[in-house]
Amino acid sequence: MIAALFLAIAGSAPATPQTASSGLWKVNDGHALEWEGRPYRPVGVRVPGTVEAIQGTHEAGITDIMIELPADGRGWSEALDAVRNTGQRYWIAVDSLAPMPESVTIEPDSYRIENARTGTVISTPMPGVTRVLIVLAGADGRRTHSEVVPTTGGRLEYKVTHPLGGTHVLLAYPVTRTSGQPDFYEGLDAHRDQMLLNVKQSQFGPGLRGWVNPLGRIPSTSAPKNSVPLSPLFRTEFAAYLRNKYGAVSTLVRSWGIGAANFRDINEAARLVPLWSNGKGLDAAWDPETNTVFNVNVRATTLWNDLREAQTIAGVRRTTRLTDALRKETGVPVMQEWDGWDGLAARPEAGLDGVGASLNAAREFEIINEMAGPLGTAFRRTAPTWMGVTDLRLSGELTVDDALDRVAQAGSKAVFVRSQDPEVGRRVAATEPLSTPLTAPKTLFFPLDARDPAQPMVLPGNVLWLPAPVAGDRLRMGGTYEGYTVQEQDGIATVLWSLAADTTVRIVHDQADALKFYTPEGTPIEVKKVRRGVEMVLPSLPIIVRGSNDPIIPADAFENAALKVNTLLTAVPTLADPDGREQVEVTAALSGWERNPGRASQAMWTILDRMLTRSAPYLWRSADSANAAQLAGLVTRTGSSSKQVLRMAPRFGGMAEAQFKVTTRIPGNHEVWVAASVPSGAVHRLAAQYGEIVLGPAETGISGYGQGFAWYKLGSINLIEGDHQVKVQFSANPGEEVLLDTLVLAPMNFRPDGPRPPSEWMDGAMKAPATR
C-alpha cells in the first residue's frame, strides 16, 4: 500500500538502499564495510569536531575517529583541515538538533484540567509553545466553548471567563516546535540545502569514511506521534495522498466520519486536526485556519491512520533524497542511529546504508540489550546492511577493554567510544580492528512480545538471539518450560526451552513425522518416536521446531494447566467460574486436545489466567480495569498483560493517578506491586496511595517483559476485610511518561511472572484465596 502511494505522490519508486559505491566501498554479506576491497572494521573514538579534540586523538595514536559537527557548517573548515593534516580516517556525525515542525500536540489525556469552572486559572510554563487551543467540554462530552490563546514569554496564562453550567473538563492542544518529531517538510528542505552547500564548499580529503545521522539528532523517534504538522507543504502532500486514496471529498468525509461538513475540496479537509487520542479528548476535528470544529465519529474514522501513513511516506521519501545526495556528493555511505522499531533506521526504503547503535552501558550484559534493536534491524534485511556502535558511553565500573570485547562478540562491525580521556584513547589505540566473519551472522529472532522469557544474547555457535518486529506469540506453559512461535520465511516455527536442567518431554502431534527439530545453529536433533508424537530431551537453551503452523507444546504443560483449572473449579467454584462459562471453555479445550494439542494447551492456559485473576490469593488488576483515571489514558501496547496500558503523563503539573477497587476477604498485610514501563531515573516518582498512606519509592524493577515493562514493589499495607480504593500515582518531569500495566496486592511473598498471573503458588498446598 505505502509503496503504491510513493509511486502516486512522488512519481517514481522509492530509492532502494545502496550496498556499494562506485568502487570505493561496499557493505559485504557479513554486514561489514569493505574499503577498496579490504575489510574495514574500525575501533575508534567519538569526539567534538574541534581542532583540539582531533589533535588529541592523533597524539594518542588513534587512527579512526568520529567527529561531531553541526548542520549549519560552523567549524567544518577547521575540523576538516585538522583531520586532513593528521591523516586519520574519520566519520562525520551531524550533532545539531534535527529541524522540528510547527505542530499541534494531541494529548488530551495529559493536557487537561478536570472539574473546570468559570474563574478557573491556568498559569504554567510551556516552553516552545506559541499558542494553545483551549476547549471546554461538558460531562456529556459536547464542546461548550473553544478559543486559541497565545502564550507570553513561554507561559500560558488563561482564565475561564465563559459561563459554565455543571462539571466541565478543560482540554489544551499546544502548538509547538518541540514535539520531538523531525520536520520532513520545509525544515528538511532547508536542512538539506544547507548540508549540501556545506559539502560543496568543503574539502574532505581521502580520509572520510561515512556520515551518521544526516538529519541531525532526533530526540526520541522519527516515527509519527500524536501530533499534526501545520506545515503548508505537509498539507499539500497530505491532500495529494488523500486525493489518490479517496478521489472525491464526499468519499473522504464519509471515511472520516465527519457530519454536516461542507468542504469545497480535499485541500480544505487536509487542514483538519483530530482532537482525540489515547481514549480521551473531544470527538471532533479542528481547522486551525478557520478555527472551526467539526464533529467526528471516532469509532469509525480513518483520520488518524491517514495522517500517520502520510507522515511516514513523507519522512521516508525526503530522507532518501538527502541520503542519496550526500552519498553522490561525497562517495561514502550514510548511516542512521537506531531510533526505534518504527523509526527511519528501521525502514529499508529510507535509502540508508547502515544502522548505528548508541549505547550507555554500566555493566557488560547491558551492552547486548541496548544493541538488540539495531542488530535485529540490520541483520533481518535481505540486502547487506552495515551495523556498528557509533556512540559507546562508558559508565559505572565497565572498562573499555570489556566493553569492546562485548561489542565485538555481539556482532558489531565498528565501535566508536565517546571519550576524551587519554587513558581510554590509549586503550582504543592498542585495540586491533574488530574480528568479525565475512558471512552473515547466524540469527534466531523472537517477537517483541516474547521478550522475557527470550533475551538478547549470544547462543552457542555464535548465534545471535535477537528481538524483531516479526509475527508470533509467547507461549504459556507454566513454570517448567518457556517458548514462543515466530513467523519464518517458510512458515511458523516454535522455539522451546526448559527452565530446569535437560528435561525429557513428550510432544503430542498427529503428524509427528513432519516435525523437525534443530539447534539454533541448524544442527538436526534426534528424537524418539512414540504413540501420537515424539519423546526428546528438551535443553535449557532454545531449540527450533519446524513442520507445523500450530504451537508445539510439551504434553505435561497442558496437563499442568488442566490440573490447576480443575483445582480452582473444585476448591473455589464461585470465584473461579461465577457464571459457568469457564466450564464450557474447559470442555472445549479438553476435546480440542485430540484435534490440535498445541492450540488446546494455550486455550487451557488462557482459561487458567482468567480464573487466577478472580481467585488467586493475590489481587490482580490490569490497567484497563481502573475505575477512575486522572491525567492518564489507555493506549495499546503489545506484550502487556491485557494489550492496553494506562499512559500517565501529566503536562500541567499535578499527579497522574489511576484508582482501583479491591475487596479483601481475609485481613492482613499485603505487598503492593505494579508492573509498568518507567523512564530511567523516574522510578522514585512512582507511588501508590491507600487512604493517607503513600507507598514508595519503588524498589529496583524485576521480571522485565515486553517493550520495557518490569515489576516494582512499592511497599506493604495492612488491610481489613471489605472494599478498598488503592491509587497508583506518577509525578512527571516535562516529557516523561509511565505506562502502567498491572497493579497487584498480595497477602504473601509475591513472585512476578512477566505479564502473566503467577500460578506457581498452586504447586504447594491449596489455600483459600485472600483477595478477589
List the CATH number of the domain containing 753.
2.60.120.260
Do 7 and 150 share a domain, yes or no?
Answer: no
- Indicate the residue type of 651: R
Do 386 and 494 share a domain, yes or no?
Answer: no
Do 669 and 698 share a domain, yes or no?
Answer: yes
Do 590 and 503 share a domain, yes or no?
Answer: no
The Cα 577–Cα 260 span in angstroms is 48
The answer as to whether 230 is a domain residue is no
Do 643 and 514 share a domain, yes or no?
Answer: no
* Residue 628 bridge partners (DSSP): 659
- CB atoms under 10 Å from CB of 692, counted, come to 5
Do 686 and 544 share a domain, yes or no?
Answer: no
The answer as to whether 485 is a domain residue is yes
Residue at which a domain ends, from 591, 615, 639: 615
Instruction: Report the candidate in 291, 227, 302, 287 with the shortest Cα–Cα distance to residue 257.
Output: 302
The Cα 168–Cα 144 span in angstroms is 9
Do 676 and 705 share a domain, yes or no?
Answer: yes
The Cα 587–Cα 585 span in angstroms is 5
| Contacts of 731 by beta carbon, 8 Å cutoff, 6+ apart | 650, 654, 655, 656, 685
Quickly tell me which residue has 511516506 as its cell.
313
- Indicate the residue type of 259: G
The answer as to whether 232 is a domain residue is no
Domain count across the chain: 5
| Contacts of 85 by beta carbon, 8 Å cutoff, 6+ apart | none
Q: Residue 433 has what pLDDT?
A: 82
Q: Residue 438 has what pLDDT?
A: 64
The Cα 475–Cα 482 span in angstroms is 7
The Cα 708–Cα 687 span in angstroms is 18
Do 59 and 165 share a domain, yes or no?
Answer: no
The answer as to whether 434 is a domain residue is no
Task: Name the residue range of residue 652's domain.
Answer: 619-763
List the CATH number of the domain containing 207.
3.20.20.80
User: What pTM does this model have?
Assistant: 0.88
Q: Residue 7 has what pLDDT?
A: 34
List of long-range contacts for 192-201, beta carbons under 8 Å, 24+ apart: 192/318, 192/321, 192/322, 192/325, 194/71, 194/72, 194/73, 195/71, 195/94, 195/322, 195/326, 196/325, 196/326, 196/329, 197/73, 198/71, 198/72, 198/73, 198/76, 199/326, 199/329, 199/330, 200/329, 201/73
User: Could you read off the pLDDT of 232-256 as tens digits, one per residue?
Assistant: 999 999 999 999 999 999 999 999 9
Beta pairing, strands 503-508 & 632-636 = unpaired
Do 91 and 196 share a domain, yes or no?
Answer: yes
- CB atoms under 10 Å from CB of 616, counted, come to 26
| Contacts of 109 by beta carbon, 8 Å cutoff, 6+ apart | 277, 278, 279, 280, 281, 631, 632, 633, 647, 649
The Cα 40–Cα 478 span in angstroms is 47
**DSSP secondary structure string, 289-354?**
TTTEEEEB-TTT--HHHHHHHHHHHHHHHHHHHHHHHHHHHH-S-EEEE---TTSGGG-GGG--SE
Averaged over successive runs of 10 residues, the pLDDT of the chain (772 residues) comes to 37 37 80 91 96 95 97 96 97 94 92 90 90 92 91 94 89 87 92 96 96 90 79 95 95 88 88 91 93 91 95 92 94 94 89 94 86 94 92 87 90 92 87 74 92 91 94 90 94 95 91 94 94 93 96 94 94 93 95 91 95 92 92 86 89 85 90 93 92 90 88 95 94 86 94 90 54 35
The answer as to whether 307 is a domain residue is no
- Phi and psi for 413 in degrees, rounded to 5? -100, 0
Do 496 and 391 share a domain, yes or no?
Answer: no
The answer as to whether 771 is a domain residue is no
3-state secondary structure of 372: helix
The Cα 457–Cα 466 span in angstroms is 7
The Cα 294–Cα 42 span in angstroms is 57
Do 358 and 213 share a domain, yes or no?
Answer: yes
**DSSP secondary structure string, 725-737?**
EEEEEE-PPTT--
The answer as to whether 571 is a domain residue is yes
Do 165 and 199 share a domain, yes or no?
Answer: no
Here the cell at position 376 is 535485529
Beta pairing, strands 686-690 & 644-648 = unpaired
Quickly tell me which residue has 483515571 as its cell.
629
Instruction: Report the candidate in 159, 165, 172, 128 with the shortest Cα–Cα distance to residue 144.
Output: 165
The answer as to whether 331 is a domain residue is yes
Residue at which a domain ends, from 525, 548, 571: 548
Residue at which a domain ends, from 496, 521, 548: 548
Q: Does the N-terminal peptide bond of residue 697 adopt cis geometry, omega within 30 degrees of 0?
A: yes
